[in-house]
């Protein structure tokens, strides 16, 4: 029974990591930028969800608004910060991204206050029981939400013209251009989708914890960097596997390794170990 609970808890956390990290891996695959500020967009999505739900009373409307606004914000981040840095060494964009992330966190603290905001009425409080497993509806929403979002992303990548253009651009930008693919547009759509996913993850976490805080992105931001490295960088399937695996390992680690290692450091132990042994990542395509 303990194991069922632990695995379930791990999968719930892991699906949150997955939705955030998939956006990061999309950005990395296309532009080779480690986009730390992604977690700042995740936090923005969570805040918009809570504030609009409280103002209008409608959670679906709030989630829709959050994904749209944050998607556009992501495109702006690309246009204003990353695009001018593309021909510089890759760590320049990484450091700039960390700077932007700190600015975003501090702005949330200044604008929304340091103590966080909650829904006026708690959302999805029912309990669901399937056989022996019981969980809160918010937990179930996180799992189902992640599956729906990631399946949708998978279909988009495999079945649509945008997906074909995206994959072509990642494989060979020059060749894609010569076949008439607008690679600049691909970048903007890519940032829109990645950021909208981050906003959706933020909304799910807001419902799950009934709390949004300025610093709620800190742990996911650096941890999801570790996840995309473990997942083989730009490899969407590998990123999902790494995210779920990390969620479960953390759930077990809290019980069995809590005496000598902090839970949030587990991801980085794996990160360092994997980078030393296989610098190309755990699930790299090569």
Which residues lie near another protein (CB under 8 A)?
34, 81, 84-85, 88-96, 98-103, 105-107, 110, 222, 225-226, 229, 258-266, 268-269, 271-272, 275-276, 279
**Summary count for the chain: helices (H), strands (E):** 11, 2
Report in angstroms how near the CB of residue 277 gets to another protein at its nearest.
9
Give the pairing type, strands 127-130 and 133-136. Answer: antiparallel
To the nearest whole angstrom, how small is the minimum distance from the Cβ of residue 50 to another protein?
22
Distance CA 113, CA 141 (A): 28
Give me the least distance between CB of 5 and another protein, in Å please.
23
CA angle 110, 111, 115 (to 5 degrees): 70
For another protein, the closer CB: 65 or 274: 274
Query: 3-state DSSP call for residue 223?
Result: helix
From 46, 73, 76, 43, select the one nearest 62 (Cα to Cα).
46
Shortest distance, CB of residue 142 to another protein, whole angstroms?
A: 24
Nearer to another protein, 57 or 258 (CB): 258
Minimum gap (Å) between residue 213 Cβ and another protein: 15
Rounded distance, CA 70 to CA 124, Å? 23
Q: How far apart are CA 108 and CA 156, in angstroms?
A: 32
With H, G, I as helix, E, B as strand and everything else as coil, classify residue 217. Answer: coil
**Residue number with CB closer to another protein (172 or 264):** 264
Q: How far is the CB of 86 from another protein (least distance, A)?
A: 12
CB atoms within 10 A of CB 140: 16
- The CA distance from 90 to 234, in Å, is 15
Nearer to another protein, 45 or 214 (CB): 214
Minimum distance from CB of 42 to another protein (Å)? 17
Nearer to another protein, 29 or 145 (CB): 29
Nearer to another protein, 107 or 171 (CB): 107
Q: Treating both helix axes as pointing N-terminal to C-terminal, what angle do 38-56 and 218-230 enclose, rounded to 10 degrees? A: 130
Instruction: Choose between 143 and 275: whose C-beta lies nearer to another protein.
Output: 275
When the beta carbons of 26 and 204 are compared against another protein, the nearer one is 26
Encoded tokens for 76: 């702006």
Neighbours of 182 (CB within 10 A): 13
**Considering only CA atoms, which of 27, 67, 35 is closest in space to residue 197?**
67
Given CA atoms 149, 155, 160, 164 in this order, what sign does their dihedral have? positive
Quote the least distance from Cβ 77 to another protein, whole Å.
11
């Amino acid at each position: 029974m303990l194991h069922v609970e632990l695995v379930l808890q791990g999968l719930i956390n892991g699906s949150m990591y997955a939705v955030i990290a998939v956006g990061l891996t999309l950005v990395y695959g296309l532009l080779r930028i480690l986009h730390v500020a992604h977690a700042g967009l995740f936090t923005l999505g969570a805040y918009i969800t809570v504030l609009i739900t409280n103002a209008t009373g409608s959670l679906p409307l709030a989630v829709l608004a959050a994904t749209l606004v944050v998607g556009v914000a992501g495109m702006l981040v690309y246009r204003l910060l990353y695009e001018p840095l593309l021909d510089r060494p890759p760590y320049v964009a990484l450091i700039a991204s960390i700077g932007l992330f700190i600015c975003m966190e501090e702005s949330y603290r200044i604008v929304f206050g340091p103590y966080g905001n909650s829904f006026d009425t708690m959302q999805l409080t029912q309990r669901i029981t399937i056989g022996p497993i019981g969980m809160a509806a918010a937990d179930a929403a996180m799992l189902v939400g992640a599956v729906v979002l990631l399946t949708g992303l998978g279909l988009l990548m495999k079945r649509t013209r945008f997906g074909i253009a995206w994959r072509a651009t990642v494989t060979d930008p020059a060749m894609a251009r010569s076949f008439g693919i607008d690679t600049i547009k691909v970048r903007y759509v890519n940032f829109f989708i990645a950021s909208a996913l981050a906003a959706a993850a933020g909304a799910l976490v807001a419902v799950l914890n009934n709390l949004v805080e300025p610093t709620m992105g800190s742990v996911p931001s650096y941890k999801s960097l570790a996840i995309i490295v473990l997942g083989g960088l730009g490899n969407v399937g590998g990123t999902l596997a790494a995210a779920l695996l990390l969620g479960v390992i953390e759930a077990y680690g809290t019980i069995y390794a809590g005496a000598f290692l902090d839970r949030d450091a587990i991801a980085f132990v794996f990160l360092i170990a994997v980078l030393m042994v296989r610098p190309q990542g755990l699930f790299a395509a090569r």
